[in-house]
Amino acid sequence: MQEAEIQRIKQKFGIIGNAKALNRAIEIAAQVAPTEMTVLITGESGSGKESFSKIIHTLSPYKHGQFIAINCGAIPEGTIDSELFGHEKGAFTGATEVRKGYFEEANGGTIFLDEIGEMPLGTQARLLRVLEYGEFIKVGSSKVQKTKVRVVAATNVDLLEAVEQGKFREDLYYRLNTVPLHVPPLRERGEDIFLLFRKFAVDFADKYYVKPIRLTEKAKEVLLQQQFEGNIRQLKNLVEQISVLEIDKNISEAKLVKYLPKERRNLPMLYEGEGERFSERDILYKVLSDMRKDVNELKQLVFELFSNDTQGNKLLKAHPTLFKSINSIEEAAPENLEVIDAVTEVNTKNALKKIPLVHETEEESLSIADKEKELIMKALNKHESKRKLAAHSLGISERTLYRKIKHYGIAR
């Protein structure tokens, strides 16, 4: 695509910046727009994914139809089917009249499904039917209706990971991901941040009848180093605050720092990485890993004490079961990461109670494998040997559960 065409699209849709990754995303959107292909837009929150869905709609054969943007994460699970596909009168409590859904309203147009990863599994099956055959059924109806809608989806989460966790349908993922389009985060767009800062500064100067703010060279260096996890939305809010609150519109490094978020150095982090979220599985593994490290250090200390015969003999006489106790704790720490899968859904506090301590009776099993087998059997009993439901409650895949059942010789 010619550079002039990319610039024209930027001007039409208010996209600012010259980063290579940004231009590539615009090029993909323009190339795929005239086709019937489904597009999955990925990118962090606030990076401007909806703008690319509008590019696809405007340059597509569906441009004369409606463009409807839907945030799947903002619609309650109990009503999302009705919102998307409509319902018949009396279909449920409160359904006092027939209602058209978005797929019926947008017939001949484009639907933008933002935060598609938050869509419930049941609704995902209905959506797959629409994508494959252009058919849907209203809630409370048995009549199949047709619709011809261009679907553009967006997500800020890793859908492949969600597929592995059983939270997103694999067939729907590959159906949506016909053409992947990635919108780069602001921190990867280099000096585009200065162009956006200047644009927002002028906009807010006009809005609040003040002079536009300007950054010193030192302040620009500080701005360029920021992570901006909220991306363009966060930058816009920052510029608005400074425009309103600062009398002197020449913004120095010291002034800028006052408005920047404080570094989260005091927050407990299990691993390095900005904005990473941790599940109970991660926390439990970290606790067990740290426990194993502490036990190894304790054993090293004891061996050093025993290197001195006099101190060693005294210690052995005073605590004859010391080594046995230490080794028992060490056995409780997992060697295999897959063991943690069996306790993913168990509350961390309750899971930690299952780890045997030194003062517990020696008769109790100290094997993590035994605990894993016990949890698997409980899950299977709870769900009447239905492996799919048992795997879901344990937080592991059905294939992993099948392998573990075979490994432990659990009769089902």
Q: What is the pLDDT of residue 236?
A: 95
pLDDT band at 358 (very low <50, low <70, confident <90, very high): very low
Residues 117 and 10 in one domain: yes
- SS3 state of residue 60: coil
* Same domain membership, residue 342 and residue 233: no
Residue environment code for 145-158, b if the CB has 16+ CB neighbours within 10 A, otherwise e: bebebbbbbbbbbe
In tens, the pLDDT along 261-289 reads 875 444 444 444 444 445 555 666 666 66
pTM: predicted TM-score of the whole model, two decimal places: 0.62
pLDDT score of 216 more than 70: yes
Last residue of a domain, one of 184, 218, 250: 184
- 179 and 192 assigned to the same domain: no
**Residue 336 pLDDT more than 90?**
no
Q: Which of 63, 75, 125, 122 is nearest to 101 (CA)?
A: 75
274 lies in a domain?
Answer: no
The mean pLDDT of 8-17, rounded to a whole number, is 94
Residues 158 and 193 in one domain: no
- Residue 272 falls inside a structural domain: no
Are 213 and 354 in a shared domain?
A: no
Q: Which of 95-99, 245-249, 307-311, 369-373 has the least mean pLDDT?
A: 307-311
139 and 255 in a single domain? The answer is no
Question: Is residue 267 in some structural domain?
Answer: no
What per-residue confidence (pLDDT) applies to 363?
Answer: 46
CATH code of residue 20: 3.40.50.300
What pLDDT is recorded for position 351?
A: 44
Residue at 268 is within a domain: no
pLDDT tens digit sequence for 40-93? 999 999 999 999 999 999 999 999 999 999 999 999 988 999 999 999 998 888
Task: Tell me if 47 is assigned to some domain.
Answer: yes
Q: In terms of domains, do 236 and 346 share one?
A: no
Query: Contact, 218 vs 252, CB < 8 A?
Result: yes
Q: pLDDT-derived band of residue 241, with 50, 70 and 90 as boundaries?
A: very high
Check which CATH number belongs to the domain holding 218 and give it.
1.10.8.60
At position 362, the amino acid (one-letter code) is: E
Q: Which residues contact 260 (CB under 8 A, 6 or more apart)?
A: 222, 226, 238
d(CA 64, CA 148) in angstroms, rounded, equals 13
Its domain, for residue 71, covers 3-184
Predicted pLDDT of residue 276: 45
- 197 C-beta neighbours (distance < 10 Å), count: 23
Check whether residue 218 and residue 328 sit in a common domain.
Answer: no
pLDDT above 90 (res 107): yes
Residue 265 has a pLDDT of 42
For residues 157-183, give the mean pLDDT: 93
Summarize the confidence of residues 378-407 as an average pLDDT: 81
275, with CB counted inside 10 A (0-12, 13-18, 19+), is exposed
End position of a domain, from candidates 155, 184, 213? 184
Q: Is 290 or 371 the better-scoring residue by pLDDT?
A: 371
Position 296 confidence tier, pLDDT thresholds 50, 70, 90: low
| Residue 346: band (very low, low, confident or very high) from pLDDT cuts 50, 70, 90 | very low
The answer, yes or no, to whether residue 235 has pLDDT greater than 60, is yes
Q: 242-248 contacts: CB < 8 A, separation 24 or more?
A: 242/213, 243/201, 243/204, 243/205, 243/208, 243/210, 243/212, 243/213, 244/204, 244/208, 244/210, 246/213
| Six-digit token string for 318 | 């005073």
Residues 172 and 246 in one domain: no
Does 271 fall in a domain? no
Residue 26: the pLDDT is 96
Structure tokens at 210: 């003040």
Give the chain's domain count: 3
pLDDT digits (tens, 9 = 90+) for 246-266: 999 999 999 999 999 875 444
- Which residue has better confidence, 169 or 275? 169
Which among 373, 375, 279, 293 is positioned nearest to 333, based on CA atoms?
A: 293
Q: Kindly provide the b/e burial profile for residues 228-256, where b requires at least 16 CB atoms within 10 angstroms of the residue's own CB.
A: bebbbebbbebbbebbeebeeeebeeebb
Q: What is the pLDDT of residue 205?
A: 96
| 322-330: average pLDDT | 50
The identity of residue 98, as a single letter, is V
Please report the pLDDT score of residue 400 as a whole number. Answer: 81
In this prediction, residue 381 carries a pLDDT of: 85
Summarize the chain as % helix, strand, coil (round to 5).
55, 10, 40
Of the candidates 126, 155, 184, which is a domain's last residue? Answer: 184
pLDDT, residue 19, reads: 95
Residue 394 pLDDT: 80
Q: pLDDT band at 402, cuts 50/70/90? A: confident
Residue 273 lies in a domain: no
Q: What was the pLDDT predicted at 333? A: 46
Residue 269: inside a domain: no
Q: What is the mean pLDDT of residues 1-21?
A: 91
Mutual orientation of helices 231-245 and 192-208 as an angle, nearest 10°?
A: 40
Same domain, 17 and 149: yes
C-alpha span between 23 and 263 (Å, rounded): 31
Asked if 307 and 172 sit in the same domain, the reply is: no
Q: What percent of the chain has pLDDT above 70?
A: 74
339 has pLDDT over 70:
no
> Residue 188 carries which DSSP code?
G
80 and 106 co-located in one domain: yes
Least confident of 3-12, 13-22, 179-188, 267-276: 267-276
* Cα distances (Å, whole numbers) of residue 230 to 44, 263, 275, 379: 8, 15, 10, 40
Q: How far is CA 369 from the centre of its chain?
A: 31
pLDDT attached to residue 385: 83
